[in-house]
Amino acid sequence: MRTLLKKISIVSLSMLLIVAFTNCEATRNANNKQKGAVIGAAGGAILGAIIGNNVGKGGNGELGAVIGGVVGGTAGVIIGNKMDKQAQQIEQEIPGAQVERVDDGIVVTFDETSGVYFDTNKYNINAASQETLNKLANVLQEYPKTDVLVVGHTDSTGSEEYNMTLSKQRAQSVTNYFTQNRGLAPGRFTTNWFGETTPVADNSTAEGRAKNRRVNVAIVPNEEMVQEAEQEAAGN
């Protein structure tokens, strides 16, 4: 796992920088591989994809320590190519999941309509969710040079304290399934949770609450992948 700690406020500033960069026509029209070279070390957009527009609110731990910054230049293009292929494979294997290529990483969002969901007030992985997680685990096994961040969220039903605990339990259940049931290396995983503090939809509607009851899986290149990309770029 990456050891560089970043404060959430720094990540927030990075996101503002990304907005400025992506307003440029060249960046808007670039594919993900090209964005690795254009945006450079700004970083931070993965965090926004995970917690919506609520950067800095709630949570447990510092996500910036896992996410890090974006690798620029030729090395960024090399990493972008690898992550593009992985994202495409996830989309093919799990067509119901929301898969986004963000910065150097991939953000997969599961809610009640996309294959991983939990019964009310429960955090065990049911049979339907196991089937989806098995497919993602197969892809993760094919790309071992990545780290994985699992983040849990809830809707606003119930107390904030209860929801924080429930989101923690659900996120840890997903992480434990990958590491204990599917044998993926525990060192690749970091688990985080935000309870009800980071909604992406309106909690006053049933549809909105269903979207807020979600688990994000962010897949990012590990240090070995970054070093290999830098060495390959230096040799070209």
Q: In which band, very low, low, confident or very high, does the pLDDT at 92 lie, cut at 50, 70 and 90?
A: very high
More confident of the two residues 71 and 138: 138
The sign one gets for the Cα dihedral 149, 155, 156, 161 is negative
Answer for the pair 221, 82: CB distance below 8 angstroms, yes or no.
yes
More confident of the two residues 128 and 24: 128
Predicted local confidence at residue 236, as pLDDT: 66
Predicted local confidence at residue 156, as pLDDT: 93
Q: Catalogue all structural domains in the chain, each as residue range(s) with its CATH number.
A: 8-235 (3.30.1330.60)
**Virtual torsion, Cα 220, 221, 222, 223, nearest 10 deg:** -130
Residue matched to tokens 């909690």? 203
How high is the mean pLDDT of the chain? 76
More confident of the two residues 200 and 150: 150
pTM of the model: 0.74
As a whole-number percent, the residues of the chain with pLDDT over 70 amount to 72
Q: In Å, how far are 46, 54, 65 from 4, measured between CA atoms?
A: 16, 22, 5
**Virtual torsion, Cα 119, 124, 129, 131, nearest 10 deg:** -150
